[in-house]
Amino acid sequence: MRALLIYIFCILFLGVSLPTHPSQAQDTSYAPAESSTPERIKVNNIFIIGNQKTQKNIILRELDFTTDYYYDWETFMGILKADQQKIYNLRLFTEVEITPLITGPEEVEVLISVKERWYILPSVIFQLADRNFAEWWTNQGRDFSRVNYGVRVTHSNVGGRNEKLRFLAQFGFTKAFDILYSKPYIDKNQKHGLAFQLSYADQKTIPIESEFNKQVFFTNETESILRRTFSTALRYTYRRTFYNFHFVTLGYNRTWVSDDVFQENPIYFQHDGNYLRYLYLQYSFRHDRRDNVAYATDGELLQLTGTKYGLFFTDELDEVEINIVANKYIPISDKFHYAGGLTAAWFLSDLQPYTLVRGIGYNPNFIRGYELNVIEGQQLYVQKNSLRFKFLDVAFDLSSYLPVEQFSTLPFKMYLSANFDHGFVTDRNNIPENARLTNKYLFGYGAGIDIVGFYDAVLRFEYSLNNQGEGNIFFNFKAPF
């Protein structure tokens, strides 16, 4: 019915259609059906169909044009293309189509057609507790006791206002409970938002240090709980423009560890006592202009973050961390695109509690070919590169098997990738056991296959080698950057 309405509108008004998915934008001509186009146009009305749950103002917030204002035709078509990508990146819809319908010499009506996702997603948790699959398969000997299981319930559009509500109950290797609620806009002008999170976790086996650039795990003889963590945070969001976001987070963390941990690593914390308690304040700026936030092929992402651990009471922790993420995605042709990313992180102090340790090997800071290693330190720099070729782009009609509209179409894309990553970690403590990879230039390279499927799910298979002459097959469940 929705498609029929669009078709009738286009025939009656001689309109033009934009593609149904942002990633197909470069494959479709934006020239109208008529042989000539107006030099300028004015939008009379904006119509939205298909938003059975989502409130209209959530969609209108992403539009960079307004009614009763004249636009140059080519400029207007560029605005529609960008707006379609912004609406799709709300991750509320499986399809977005914007159609300008010419109704007069310099007048158009704009029809926005969306196909909503399924918003309430209960799912079973069955996942590895380790950093990645290669760590579990090789370093941990495919130990199925290192598996987390439970249930996760996510509502990604509470009240039709793009509010997120998530509840998690997890058991197995790590017992965890988590609740998150976020409201993107709390004001009439839709610029200010709030989010709240509350988490608890306990573990009987924990990493206590690294040796020879691999994590060392510890479990005591009685298999009792070694670490408990409680954390809560309140985040404020300010979105002044379409692509720029500001985040301010105030949080509290309390971690308890058993005496047995200090017998294995006396400096697990940097003070006496079994508790590490601190307030933290974090500011983050994000500029996000990617065409698809799950697997980008065009655009850029810049994120700058500063975190102060320890506010007012700094006896147990007084630390500052700075992070930078800068990614660029460049389309070369309809089939090829280049993706490059830079991540960097700095701690100002020479030594951190082990719960705050960073380095290459901890998500998202990795070098392909070094997935089996952790390279820990106070400063890290990683630069990643991928040249990708899209060799398959199809969509399967499942409507005869699944009569639910949200699951009636299965998109499926496959990319070949050639990859090269490099970087280094500075360890001011110069721990001898980790000297093979710290304070040294590292690089890795290889090839892979990336699969992008339903609801932007990503699966990657890669074979990578590093400059130590080590090679292996790795696979992951999200885009590398």
Q: Give residue-wise pLDDT tens across range 97-116.
A: 999 999 888 999 999 999 99
End-to-end CA distance of the chain: 38
- State percent of the chain over pLDDT 70: 88
pLDDT of residue 174: 80
Q: Does 253 lie in the same domain as 111?
A: no
Among 193, 196, 162, 163, smallest CA distance to 179 is for 196
The predicted pLDDT at position 167 comes to 93
305 and 375 housed in the same domain = yes
Mean pLDDT of 211-229: 89
Is 271 a member of any domain?
A: yes
Mean pLDDT score, 404-427: 88
Question: Is residue 189 pLDDT above 70, yes or no?
Answer: yes
What's the sign of the alpha-carbon dihedral 78, 80, 84, 90?
Answer: positive
Beta bridge partners, 463, equal 447, 473
363 in the same domain as 341? yes
Structure tokens given for 103: 């109704």
Cβ atoms of residues 365 and 359 within 8 Å: yes
pLDDT exceeds cutoff 80 at 145: no
Range of 239-253, 265-279, 404-418, 446-460 with top mean pLDDT: 239-253
Average pLDDT in the chain: 87
The pLDDT score that the predictor gives to residue 417 is 96
* Residue 285 and residue 166 share a domain: yes
pLDDT of residue 400: 75
Sole residue written with tokens 């500001």: 246
With 0-12 CB in 10 A as exposed, 13-18 as middle and 19+ as buried, what is 472?
middle
Q: Is residue 444 part of a domain?
A: no
Say what the pLDDT of residue 269 is: 92
Q: Which residues, listed in sequence order, are joined to residue 416 by a DSSP beta bridge?
A: 389, 449
* Least confident piece of the model among 147-151, 166-170, 202-206, 366-370: 147-151
Tens-place pLDDT, residues 25-70: 333 333 344 446 788 999 999 999 999 999 999 999 999 999 999 9
Q: Which of 320, 348, 382 is the last residue of a domain?
A: 382
Does 337 fall in a domain?
yes
Span 284-306, pLDDT tens digits? 999 999 999 989 999 999 999 99
Tokens of 93: 């819809």
The residue among 365, 382, 399 that closes a domain is: 382
pLDDT higher for 104 or 18? 104
Structurally, the chain folds into a number of domains equal to: 2
Do 322 and 291 share a structural domain? yes
Highest mean pLDDT among 332-346, 366-380, 390-404: 332-346
Pick from 306, 179, 177: nearest CA to 229: 177
pLDDT band at 137 (very low <50, low <70, confident <90, very high): low
Is there a domain that residue 422 lies in? no
Residue 191 lies inside a defined structural domain of this protein = yes
CA gap 456, 411 in Å, rounded: 9
Is residue 420, in this structure, part of any structural domain at all?
Answer: no
pLDDT number for residue 55: 95
Average pLDDT over residues 126-147: 67
- Structure confidence at residue 136 as a pLDDT band (50, 70, 90): low
From residue 251, how far is each of 72, 231, 277, 281, 293 by CA, in Å?
48, 7, 11, 7, 26
Evaluate if residue 340 carries a pLDDT over 60: yes
The reported pLDDT for the residue numbered 67 is 93
Residue 402 — very low, low, confident or very high, per pLDDT cuts 50/70/90?
confident
106 and 144 housed in the same domain = no
Summarize pLDDT for 417-472 with one digit per residue, the tens: 999 999 999 998 888 889 999 999 999 999 999 999 877 889 899 999 999 988 88
Kindly state whether residue 409 falls inside one of the protein's structural domains.
no
Same domain, 290 and 309: yes
- Percent of the chain at pLDDT > 90 equals 62
Tokens at 129, concatenated: 């507790």
CA-CA-CA-CA torsion for 339, 340, 341, 342, nearest 10 degrees?
180
| Residues 263 and 352 both lie in one domain | yes
CATH number at residue 323: 2.40.160.50
Residues 14 and 132 in one domain: no
Taking only the tens place, the pLDDT of each residue in 342-384 is 999 999 998 899 999 889 988 888 899 998 899 999 999 999 9
pTM: 0.83
Does position 188 have pLDDT exceeding 60, yes or no?
A: yes
Residue 262 has pLDDT above 90, yes or no: yes
Which of 97, 116, 135 terminates a domain? The answer is 116
| Shared-domain flag, residues 102 and 194 | no
| DSSP 8-state secondary structure symbol assigned to residue 365 | B
Same structural domain, 40 and 129: no
- CA angle 194-197-201, nearest 5°? 170
| Tokens, residue 219 | 């479990």
Q: Please answer whether residues 136 and 74 qualify as being in contact, where contact means their C-beta atoms are separated by less than 8 angstroms.
A: no
Rounded CA gap, 102 and 401, in Å?
38
How many residues make up the chain in this entry? 481
Question: Is the confidence at residue 336, as pLDDT, over 60?
Answer: yes
Q: Are residues 109 and 129 in the same domain?
A: no
Structural domain containing residue 60: 2-116
* 268, pLDDT greater than 70: yes
Within a domain: 310: yes
Q: At 175, is the pLDDT very low, low, confident or very high (cuts 50, 70, 90)?
A: confident
- Which CATH number is 83's domain given? 3.10.20.310
